[in-house]
Amino acid sequence: MGRLEEVRIYISPCGLGLGHVGRCLPIAEELRRRGAEILFSTYQEGLEYLKKGGFPVVSAPSMRMEVLEGRIDLKMSSVKGGLKAPPRFLNQVRVELENMRRFEPEIVISDTRLSSIFAARLLGLPSTSILNQFQPIVPRSKRNFNLSKIADGVLLTLIGGGWALSDIILIPDFPEPYTISLDLLRIPKRHRNLVRFVGPILPKRPEECEGTVDLPGVDKGRHLILASISGPEKERIPLISKLIPILKEFPGDYRILLSMGMPRLDTRPRTYGPLTILPWLPDRFRYLKACDAVISRAGHGTVLQNLCYGKPQILIPTPGHTEQYANARRAKELGIAEALHQRDITRDNLLRAVERVIELGIYGERIREITSKSPGDGVSNTIKAIEELLGRGPMRGVTEPSTSACRVHPHPNMV
């Protein structure tokens, strides 16, 4: 147990989708293993997931983005949420203050939630932010040009300054020039001393899981493709609906496993030719280790997990989700992935992308090159940062960012 025994730690991840909660869970599990007492605060999908996971969790109010036919609608989000955003944020801070006063933590860990950082600052508590974006990206187009101009001014300054209220900012990524979130890390020089690259945070490391699966045809030399679609339900369904008829028509030398990310549904598989559909994969990482390639969204955690498991990927960013577009573009630049717009997906271009990443050896070479540059285990390095803030040990093995690496933009749900 040792230095973290009986330490009370408040963990506050963004609850939209499961990506932020998913990377906080292995940290919480290791902290609890070392004797710490944990309380989570989150909302929406993250709240429901944690309730089933055995950790104590309190509900927090959330901000949300409007979704239209699987596409994040910035105009509607601005119209519906713009005027209400300040009072909603203040309400979030109020709730976080109440939760922290009741729990009396010794440290606060926020994953992309500003309200928790503000509350910790008001209470004089040490805090750390886990981030892969520093400021939000609003796409520049004629339709939302005025919105993007405002965001690039006031909003970006306020949000960036908010993260800088943390004592340490942890980036769960590879250092430059291999950073997946490089385009999202435009960090002002005055804040760079707060930043640490800790490496990818994985719920399960490749060496911890077996790489065999019981799926008909896989043992006969067929390529196994894992299509794992994550994110909020309104964003998932349009892509899943588009993929199912396409994947049914793939050649017989492929086996495709489509996971819909719906743990509440019946888990019995349905098979249509080369395609097997599962509402939920309880042990996704076993299939990730066994597969030959991955079809997925382009969330930061998803891209890093695919990369760390050595898998080439076909990335389909959520329409309108600027962070995912940046991640997909960066992964393609690094030579570890192909990227497709959701609107452009056809049977032929998806099959060509799959064949390309499997058959061309350059993808595997780039993956091996990048993973060899990891600063270490992201969970262990995060724990070291927590110990430093608690005054219980020096931080070692955590990579400082280079001066040129620090450029960013964040997700609009950093609340």
Distance between CA atoms of residues 76 and 108, nearest Å? 33
Give the pLDDT confidence score for residue 387 in this predicted structure.
Answer: 95
Q: Which helix (H) or strand (E) holds 286?
A: helix 284-290
> For 209-371, which CATH superfamily applies?
Glycogen Phosphorylase B; (3.40.50.2000)
275-278 and 293-296 beta bridge pairing: unpaired
Give the pLDDT confidence score for residue 75 in this predicted structure.
Answer: 44
Give the pLDDT confidence score for residue 152 in this predicted structure.
Answer: 54
Distance between CA atoms of residues 310 and 131, nearest Å? 23
The pair of structure tokens assigned to 377 is: 């285990």
Distance between CA atoms of residues 176 and 178, nearest Å? 5
CATH architecture of 2-200+374-405: 3-Layer(aba) Sandwich (3.40)
> How does pLDDT run across 92-128, given as a tens digit for each residue?
999 999 999 999 999 999 999 999 999 999 999 999 9
The pair of structure tokens assigned to 347 is: 């049977």
Inter-residue contact 134 to 187 (CB < 8 Å)? yes
Inter-residue contact 316 to 298 (CB < 8 Å)? yes
Give the pLDDT confidence score for residue 56 in this predicted structure.
Answer: 97
Q: Please calculate the CA angle 298-403-128 and round it to the nearest 5 degrees.
A: 65
> With 50 as the cut, is the pLDDT of residue 35 above it?
yes
The Cα-based distances of 348 to 152, 160, 249, 345, 352 in angstroms read 39, 42, 10, 8, 6
Please state the pTM of the whole predicted model.
Answer: 0.84
Show Cβ contacts of residue 94 under 8 Å, excluding neighbours closer than 6 positions: none
Stretch among 33-42, 60-69, 352-361, 404-413 having the lowest mean pLDDT: 404-413
- The gap between the terminal CA atoms of the chain, to the nearest Å, is 32
Per the prediction, the chain carries an average pLDDT of: 85
The pair of structure tokens assigned to 30 is: 């290791």
> With 90 as the cut, is the pLDDT of residue 248 above it?
yes
Distance between CA atoms of residues 279 and 294, nearest Å? 17
> With 80 as the cut, is the pLDDT of residue 415 above it?
no
More confident residue, 224 or 400: 224
The pair of structure tokens assigned to 169 is: 């900012």
- Rounded to an integer, the average pLDDT of 51-71 is 73
> How does pLDDT run across 76-94, given as a tens digit for each residue?
444 444 556 678 889 999 9
Residue from 196, 39, 50, 203 nearest 131 by CA: 196
Confidence class for position 137, pLDDT limits 50, 70, 90: low
Confidence class for position 291, pLDDT limits 50, 70, 90: very high
Stretch among 18-22, 64-68, 71-75, 208-212 having the lowest mean pLDDT: 71-75
Numbered ranges of CATH 3.40.50.2000 in the chain:
2-200+374-405, 209-371
Neighbours of 255 (CB within 10 A): 25
Percent helix, strand, coil in the chain, to 5, is 45, 15, 40
Query: Facing residues of 256 across strands?
Result: 225, 275
> With 90 as the cut, is the pLDDT of residue 395 above it?
no
Give the pLDDT confidence score for residue 335 in this predicted structure.
Answer: 98
Collapse the DSSP code of 33 into the 3-class scheme (helix H, G, I; strand E, B; otherwise coil) and give the result. helix
The pair of structure tokens assigned to 356 is: 């390309």
Task: Tell me the backbone φ, ψ of residue 296, rounded to 5 degrees.
Answer: -160, 170
Distance between CA atoms of residues 327 and 144, nearest Å? 22
Residues 142-166, buried b or exposed e (16+ Cβ, 10 A)? eebeebbeebbeebbeebbebbbbb
Give the pLDDT confidence score for residue 149 in this predicted structure.
Answer: 57
Chain mean position to CA 189 = 25
Q: Which helix (H) or strand (E) holds 145?
A: helix 145-150
- Rounded to an integer, the average pLDDT of 36-43 is 98
More confident residue, 198 or 392: 198
Distance between CA atoms of residues 71 and 257, nearest Å? 24
Give the pLDDT confidence score for residue 401 in this predicted structure.
Answer: 47
- Rounded to an integer, the average pLDDT of 212-222 is 67
Residue 397's identity, in one-letter code, is G
> With 90 as the cut, is the pLDDT of residue 190 above it?
no
The pair of structure tokens assigned to 82 is: 């713009």
> How does pLDDT run across 254-269, given as a tens digit for each residue?
999 999 887 676 778 8
